[in-house]
Amino acid sequence: MNKRMVWMLVITGLVFGGVFGFKWFGNKMMNQYFDNMPMPPAAVTSATATQQSWRPSLSGVGTVVASQGADVTTEVGGIVQALHFESGKRVRKGDLLVTLSAGSEQGDLARLQAQAQLAKKEHARFERLFGLEAVSRSELDQAAATLRAATAAVEAQQATLNQKIIRAPFSGTLGIRQVNLGQYLSPGTPIVTLQALDPVYVDFTLPEQDLGKVVVGQTVQAAVEQGPSASGVVEAIESLVDSATRNFKVRARFDNPQAQLRPGQFARARIELADAAPVIAVPLTAVSYNPYGNSVYVIQKVKGKTADGKDEEQLTVTRRFVKTGVTRGDLVAISSGLKAGEQVATSGLLKLQNGTRVIINNSVTPSASAAPTPDES
């Protein structure tokens, strides 16, 4: 029995050992096959690095500001008696906008005018009497003081009445009316917005390292959403740098006869600098941006073999780290790491690594324009 048991255990071990050995051998051969199996080439689009002449510029974002703008309000309270304007209309400086009720103020003015006339007559009478030495100098001075006080009271009441008549403080375009007939207005209540739209300013910011590059009189191009680009000039530069953002503010002046630029609009401003300089440009999509450095995949021809062992030229990619510069439209300048004429991959970068075989399919390529337009596909 003992011999039989031993032989059974030996045979069982040999069977299981053979099964596991065969499976291990099969897995090894399969892994070796897949490891040595040639990978199909990756399809990419390509572009050639070109040498272009770019004029250096400074770019910033900002806001359109009216040359003059205010919310028209009232200095005194009162009920709206008449409205003399329409929303959205142009007005000139001094045009009548609103009249507030002023019945009691008119009555007070008439009373004060009567008192002033009486004080004037009394002063004239005291002057004649003083000439006859019938009154003293102090009595004449008292009459003169009474006249001056009465005259000042009339002027103050007239000023209050004038405040009941609200006029345009400057020429411009009105906004939407915010008051109605019969409404009581407290001092400071907004009546309508008034904006001078020609000219307008664009206030934008630039980093402090550009402070020495900006001077008054430089040409500025500004673009807003849903509007054409406008050309203006630098009118003023902020005298301090914001300590929080390390940016400084620039104000540019733009003629705006057609009111295409409106206060409050977001604007992109660009200042053209010196003469054009040569740069190596590639599409933005060709650059892989990473914390440890930016890189491109350069397409190169190498000698290889087909599946049946024949020699052929193949395309592979080599990852190369580059230093990027300014961008313009869909293009970016490469300041080092790439030469003009070299071909780079512009799509499918995530499936690439050093030595990956590629095929080029440029039937559909990413946009690569220095001045793209919204309708470009």
Chain position carrying tokens 């003169």: 144
CA 305 distance to own-chain centroid: 55
Residues 294 and 338 in one domain: yes
- For residue 248, being part of any structural domain is answered with yes
Residues 63 and 204 in one domain: yes
Residue-range definition of the domain harbouring residue 50: 42-54+276-360
Average pLDDT on 322-337 reads 87
Residues 245 and 284 in one domain: no
Higher pLDDT, residue 54 or 308? 54
Average pLDDT on 150-157 reads 86
**Overall number of domains in the chain:** 3
pLDDT band at 377 (very low <50, low <70, confident <90, very high): very low
**C-alpha closest to that of 170 among 196, 190, 192, 188:** 196
Higher pLDDT, residue 209 or 6? 209
Instruction: Choose one of 163, 179, 207: the last residue of a domain.
Output: 163
pLDDT of residue 344: 93
pLDDT of residue 287: 93
Q: What angle do CA 87, 92, 95 make, to 5 degrees?
A: 75
Residues 348 and 284 in one domain: yes
- For residue 142, being part of any structural domain is answered with yes
Higher pLDDT, residue 5 or 43? 43
pLDDT of residue 294: 92
Q: What digits encode the pLDDT tens for the residues 345-368?
A: 998 888 888 888 888 888 877 776
Q: What digits encode the pLDDT tens for the residues 281-323?
A: 999 999 999 888 899 999 998 876 655 556 667 889 999 999 9
Contact between 344 and 28 under an 8 Å Cβ cutoff? The reply is no
- For residue 203, being part of any structural domain is answered with yes
Q: What digits encode the pLDDT tens for the residues 106-150?
A: 787 788 888 888 888 888 887 888 777 777 888 888 888 988 988
Residues 63 and 212 in one domain: yes
pLDDT band at 174 (very low <50, low <70, confident <90, very high): very high
Consecutive H or E run containing 104 = helix 103-131
Tokens of 371: 């001045």
Residues 257 and 284 in one domain: no
Q: What digits encode the pLDDT tens for the residues 183-234?
A: 898 888 899 999 998 889 999 999 988 888 888 988 898 888 877 788 899 9
pLDDT of residue 237: 92
Higher pLDDT, residue 371 or 297? 297
Contact between 204 and 250 under an 8 Å Cβ cutoff? The reply is yes
- For residue 30, being part of any structural domain is answered with no
Residues 313 and 334 in one domain: yes
pLDDT of residue 123: 83
- For residue 332, being part of any structural domain is answered with yes
How far, CA to CA in Å, does 276 sit from each of 164, 218, 363? 60, 16, 33
Instruction: Choose one of 237, 272, 307: the last residue of a domain.
Output: 272
Q: State the chain's mean pLDDT as an integer.
A: 84
- For residue 4, being part of any structural domain is answered with no
Asked whether residue 2 carries a pLDDT value surpassing 80, the answer given is: no
User: Which residues does 75 contact at the CB level (< 8 Å), separation at least 6?
Assistant: 163, 187
pLDDT > 70 fraction of the chain, expressed in percent and rounded = 92
8-19: b (≥16 Cβ within 10 Å) or e: eeeeeeeeeeee
Asked whether residue 374 carries a pLDDT value surpassing 60, the answer given is: no
- For residue 307, being part of any structural domain is answered with yes
Residues 63 and 198 in one domain: yes
Threshold 0.75, pTM exceeds? no
Asked whether residue 36 carries a pLDDT value surpassing 60, the answer given is: no
